[in-house]
Structure 1
Amino acid sequence: MLVASLVLAPLVLLPGTVGAQDDTVFATQSQIRELDRRLERIERVLDSSAMNELLQASESLTRDLRELRGEVETLRHEVNRLSTRQRDQFRHLDERVASVESGATVPDSASRDEVVELDLPDADEQAAYQTAFDDLMAGDYTTAMRKLEQFLEDYPDGSFAANAWYWLAEAKYASGEFEAALEDFERLREDFPESEKSGDALLKIGYVHFELEDFDAAREALEEVRAEYGGTTLDRLARERLQRIDQAQ
């Protein structure tokens, strides 16, 4: 009897054991589904975070690019100034040599005028511009705006006037003074249409209208950028902002 009881015991417990296993399998499947849902939520959060990081990286690169372009701009002006000065020096030297060879004399007053003209090639203007530009690059927009406005009063038709208008508008744009920035960008386009900054100003006009949520005006300016500067960095930036306009509308 003892042996029979031992043999039958597993058979009696078998049905209950199978039911427990079914419950365990069902619970495990439920847990897997819950984990799947949690993973999906985490992936969405990660995707969002990655997008934010990309946007932040893009903004950082834009700032770096602006700073580099500013430095290149300053260097370009310096090179142009030195090249012009060198050409003038050689031209005046050639004229004086030719005069000596022909037996003519060069008045002392003319010589003094030439020396003064060559030794002082808008040094004050360049120094004033560079000081304001340095403040802008350091992020001190308030001081930069004050100095640039003073610069434009002192040198309204100077070599750096167009650039001063552009960076003044940039400082206002960075400070959130969009309407004032728009006026300065448009002033640059109107008064200095041949300036190298004219295309950048047109792009920023589109940006300003975007910030003011005047999407039609923004689209018009950006499409003009694409038409005039196709295949350039300005074209690419205009295209990217147009995509944002499409998403916003």
Structure 2
Amino acid sequence: MRKQLMATVLIPLGFGLAGVTHAQSSTPAFQNNSSEAQRKAGNNQATAELFYMIQQLQREVRDLRGQVEEQQHQIGRLQQQGRDRYVDLDQRILDLSKAVETRASEAPAAAPSDAPKDEARDYRAPGAEEQEAYNAIIDLIRNKKDYDAAITQLYEFVDAYPEGDLTVNAYYWLGEVYLAKPQLEQARQAFTIVATRYTDHRKAPDAVYKLGVTLDKLGEKDEAARRMKTVVERYPESGAAALAKKYLEPAQG
């Protein structure tokens, strides 16, 4: 009887303890599953944010690449325009020098085209902006020795300010820069324009002399001597005439 009573008490108690034990053992598993789910959800969100950031960066890179390509295209177009303009101006210089040489050869011997006029023409005085542009070019030549930039700006100057007092100077300095490089044929063209088209300008004596120097370097000795004699005869009081005399002294001696 006692044994039956104890069994009746102990069996339910055992079931109760087992239930508690089972409940305790199942609670951490539930908690672990919940934590794992939260961790995965957090990882998914971080991955999505990272993917979005990568897409944004890729889009910005594409935009920047497009801007760079557009700027490169514009730079290339501007460079080509500059080269085309340079070639056009250089051709105009060549055509002008050929024209004045043709007129000189066709002029009567008694009145050579490179002889100074009885009345000096009234050259257009430069404005402030024109003078500033000219001074900048002279600085490139004399101080910075940047001859390529100077040539480009000289062409632009004579194109922007035609038939002025400083325009003649610009043609002369174009010859000087080409002579210094040396690009003798281009120097010859520039000096010829001043020597035959602007005979009454203050730069004419120097231009005729430098044309003689250029011709001498080109191997055209007879024509060089003729130009030197022109300086002495037409501009006897000029400094260029003194230099021309020195050039002619060996031939005369």
| TM bin (shorter chain) | 0.3 to 0.5
TM-score, scaled to structure 1: 0.48
Which of structures 1 and 2 has the bigger CA Rg?
Answer: 2
| Higher helix residue share | 1
Higher relative contact order (CA 8 A, sep 6+): 2
TM-score, scaled to structure 2: 0.47
